[in-house]
Structure 1
Amino acid sequence: MFRSWEYWLLFFSSYAPLFAMLAIRTYERVWLSSLFAGIGLLAAFGLFAFLRLSSKRTPDRIRVVSADSRPADATAYIASYIIPLFPSGSPGANQLLALSVLLAVLGAIYVQSALVYVNPMLHVFGWRTFDILESSGRRSVLIAREAPASGSEIDVNKFAPGVLIWST
């Protein structure tokens, strides 16, 4: 099982594209644009660190009975990118504070909910989510690069309650 700081790392990585968009929006204020670009790059790097860390854990072997794709999860997440892009012009201090509050609230929900596996950046880098039925009868969400074949045995790490990651 992963620790809270790892969930926060994953949360910030899910917003790397938002920070890139904010860097573009604030290009006329170099310091602010650079700050957003730096946060975006660190956030994207955090995803790679997270995936590397998860592959180092001792896996459990499971047998997959069936696997179905979950394509809508990341798509629904994208809506939260749009809110900060509505105001015109470069954001002022009050807009930045409001964005910070929004990110803090979204982060708290993300880290404490079962949605911790929903991360659009995983999809950008070729990872997908699947509903799987294990031979034990348990249903889980699997994060993987490809769908496991029915009847196959795979090595997974527990990511969160009911969520597994398969580093193929």
Structure 2
Amino acid sequence: MFFSSYTPLFVLVGFRSAGDDGSTPVMVVAGLLVIAGASGTVLLLNQAKGKTAGRYELLEVEQRDADVAAYAATYLLPFLTVFGGDALDVLSLAAFVVFLGVVYVRSRLIYVNPVLLVMGWHLWRVVPLTEGADRGRETVRWPRYLLADTRRLRQGQTIQAHSLTDDLLLLDSDLTSDAAAATEREGRQGTGRSQAEDQDAW
């Protein structure tokens, strides 16, 4: 997941090295890294969608797309401006990616990924309550990240999502929409029954 976040950097590195002497190996490696990063991301998402979706109530929601923009501006673009394509720059880039990868994995920022945003997935920080869990237990109220193909989530909303990792959920928009529609129908039916009972009482 983190590796694919550097896909835009690898694309730009390939373009920057074009036309330079000895640039062909750099371009080839950059192209292979782009393919590997994008393919890995798509494969991970498809595998997650194949898992059974769980039902969660969102106790807290916070959109974190701004973290993605900050990540790109802080770490990707500045490094690109000093990349010249020679062996020392390539070695420095590799060391930088490894170092930042360790930092991001340990700080739970691995899901801040520009590629996912380009693909239409928005990053949210949520506190989900698993369906059937005891509301009084604080142990179930721990924050997780949520990838959702929508910008509209609200506190108290019930969603269906696939668990990618212990820290990351993937929203299933189709199941969530179906569940919301079913809940709305049940609400209308309940209202209709209440009105009918009131009329009978009169």
Do both proteins adopt the same fold according to a TM-score greater than 0.5, normalized to the shorter chain? yes
Report which stretch shifted further, 23-32 or 62-71. Answer: 62-71
Q: Measured at CA, do residues 34 and 154 of structure 1 come closer, stay the same or move farther in structure 2, by a change above 3 Å?
A: same
The equivalences for 1:124-163 within 5 A come to 124-135=118-129, 136=135, 138=141, 139-146=143-150, 147-163=152-168
1:81 is matched with which residue?
76
Distance, in Å, in 1 between the alignment partners of 2:159 and 2:51 is 14
TM-score normalized by structure 2?
0.69
2-structure distance, mates of 1:152, 1:87: 46
CA deviations on 1:127-157 (whole Å, 9 max, x unpaired) are 1122334354724332111133544322223
Structure 2 runs not aligned, ≥5 long: 130-134, 174-202
Identity, % of aligned pairs?
27
Matched residues, number: 158
Asked whether the equivalents of residues 129 and 141 of structure 1 are also in contact (C-alpha less than 8 Å), the reply is yes
> CA separation in 2, counterparts of 1:140 and 1:30?
42
Structure scoring higher RCO (CA < 8 A, sep ≥ 6) equals 1
Alignment map for 1:1-168 (pairs within 5 Å): 10-28=1-19, 29-78=23-72, 79-87=74-82, 90-135=84-129, 136=135, 138=141, 139-146=143-150, 147-168=152-173
Query: Equivalents in 2 of 1:118, 1:66: separation in Å?
Result: 19
**Larger-gyration structure (1/2):** 2
CA distance in 2, matches of 1:82, 1:154: 36
Range with greater deviation from structure 2 (32-41 or 139-148): 139-148
Which has the larger share of helix? 2
Q: For residue 7 of structure 1, what is the aligned residue in structure 2?
A: none
Between structures 1 and 2, the one with greater strand share: 1
CA displacement at 1:17 relative to structure 2: 0.5
Compute the RMSD of aligned alpha carbons.
2.2
User: Which runs of 5 or more residues in structure 1 are unaligned?
Assistant: 1-9
User: Shift in Å at residue 34 of structure 1?
Assistant: 2.1
In 2: Cα distance, 1:140 partner to 1:38 partner: 32
